Amino acid sequence: MPAREAPTKQRVTQSDIARAAGVHNTTVSLSLRNCPCIPEATRERIRIIATEMGYHPDPTLQALVAYRKGRLSNRRKETLAYLTDWDTRWGWRASPAYERAYIGAQRKAVELGYQLEHFWLGEPGMNPRRMSSLLYNRGITGVLIACGGELRDEHSEFEWSRFSAVMIGGFHQAPALHRVTDDHGGIIRLAMRKMLGAGFERIGLVSLQRRDVFADQAWSAGYLIAQEGLTTDASIPILRLGGSGPERLSAHAAPDCSNKFSALGTWYRHYRPEVIAGFTPAVLGKIEQLGLAIPRDVFYVDLCLECADQRVAGVRHNRETVGEVAARILVGQLQQNLLGPPAVATTTTVDGTWIDGASLPTISAPRKCEASDDKIKVPVEFADSSLLVSA
């Protein structure tokens, strides 16, 4: 006689939780979605009861709700806020990276049934508290934060508990929000693999200090890790240019460090790198000012390649994808009604893409640098035996 099958355990429903808690089904639904219209004490009590009863959301039902919301949004598109705090309203558009992130976020928002609208914290008379009230009163509860540097102290006045928010780039700091950014460490390691794979060992990194600070020192850390397997003679110290503090990355107002760039000549004369990795146009322009021709005298790799015209080799940051991923995460939070800073913030990183170019050959050949010391234009104040590694 065949064995009797064990009875299937019935799924715990929200109606079961409502009966156990002595409340209406709607109260349970809103509480499990962390809706602020339900008192916090009630939400916490219902969450505890749901956990004790072994409740798990039905993924099929969630998918249906998301589908229906997408269908309804075709009739009335909800708005996501794209929040910036540059010194001017459109200053961020002068930075190709931030412009491309916006394009990616806008494309994904439309695909998911939303529209993306830009808001500027620098409006006359505007402050974070007023901005949060403005957005909330317009029914906007999803915010993409694309600030050009460290969040300012007054941003703590923003009423984060009313919103689902995702940061594009930015620092790890309060409030801790989910963040999407370029994989800066992975980008420098990818560039190092390409340069080492081409047969070069004497690789020098010219780092802009403000970029490194903004990326949590990922540029310098990735470079030093990639150098671990090299001989002492092949290891070249990082040339750091610019201030040491976290400066705001305003695209239209880069810090004046023209005098400090003159340290590049002394650094190059002392270490004679075969390849220089840096950032265009700042570093590449200063290399050329020293009288060095690329690729005749020294090879070059751009760590933030914007123009893939096969003249310069380097890594292109996939900022459109950064924007797309940020928008997708934000919409997911909205569909689950997850408001306020998360209990544990996560960082999602996006890989860069290597682009071949004439500034770095794919296979190196032994050669002698054609640039003599006489050809290198080093200012008098740096033409001595002292070595400036950090400027």
Q: Read out DSSP for 147-171?
A: -SSSPPGGGGGS-GGG-EEEEES--
- Rounded average pLDDT over 168-193: 85
Q: Look-up: residue for tokens 């999407």?
A: 180
pLDDT for the residue 274: 92
pLDDT at 245: 37
What distances in angstroms separate CA 96 from CA 101, 114, 309, 317, 362, one per listed residue? 9, 24, 16, 10, 27
Higher pLDDT, 193 or 211: 193
Tokens of 120: 């500027």
pLDDT band at 73 (very low <50, low <70, confident <90, very high): very low
Q: How confident is the model at residue 378 (pLDDT cuts 50, 70, 90)?
A: very low
Mean pLDDT over each residue of the chain, to the nearest integer? 79
State the pLDDT at residue 280: 81
Q: Who contacts 379 (Cβ-Cβ below 8 Å, separation ≥6)?
A: 262, 265
pLDDT of residue 283: 83
CA-based end-to-end distance of the chain: 86
Integer Cα distance of 36 and 30 in angstroms: 8
Residue in 123, 124, 125, 175 with CA at minimum distance from that of residue 145: 175
| Cis-peptide, bond into residue 57, ω within 30° of zero | no
User: What b-and-e string marks burial along 222-248, b requiring 16 or more CB atoms within 10 Å of the CB?
Assistant: bbeebbeeeeeeeebebbbbbeeeebb
Contact between 336 and 66 (Cβ < 8 Å) = no
The CATH superfamily of 10-54 is lambda repressor-like DNA-binding domains (1.10.260.40)
Poorest-confidence range of 12-21, 65-74, 86-95? 65-74
pLDDT at 96: 83
pLDDT in tens, 120-147: 988 898 888 899 999 999 999 999 998 7
Backbone CA torsion sign across 119, 124, 128, 129:
negative
pLDDT recorded at residue 326: 95
Q: In the predicted model, is pLDDT for residue 352 greater than 70? A: yes
pLDDT of residue 264: 85
Superfamily of domain 184-316+353-382: Response regulator (3.40.50.2300)
Instruction: Output DSSP code: residue 123.
Output: S
Confidence of residue 88 (pLDDT cuts 50, 70, 90): confident
Q: What's residue 80's pLDDT?
A: 95
Confidence (pTM): 0.71
pLDDT attached to residue 156:
67
Looking at 3.40.50.10140, 3.40.50.2300, 3.30.70.20, 3.30.70.1140, the CATH number of the domain 72-183+321-352 comes to 3.40.50.2300
166 touches 139 (CB < 8 A): no
Residues of the chain with CATH 1.10.260.40: 10-54
Is pLDDT above 60 for 390?
no
Question: Residue 272 contacts by C-beta under 8 Å, 6 or more apart in sequence?
Answer: 202, 369
pLDDT top residue among 24 and 154: 24
Q: What is the pLDDT of residue 119?
A: 93
Q: What pLDDT is stored for residue 192 in this prediction?
A: 92
* Residue 252: per-residue pLDDT: 31
Angle, CA 381 vertex, CA 379 and CA 386 arms, to 5°: 110
d(CA 109, CA 99): 15
Report DSSP letters for 287-315, one per residue.
HHHTT--TTTT-EEEESS----SSSSEEE
Q: With a cut of 60, say whether residue 251 has pLDDT above it.
A: no
The CATH 3.40.50.2300 portion of the chain extends over 72-183+321-352, 184-316+353-382
Amino acid present at 178: H
Instruction: Tell me the pLDDT band of 173, cut-offs 50, 70 and 90.
Output: low
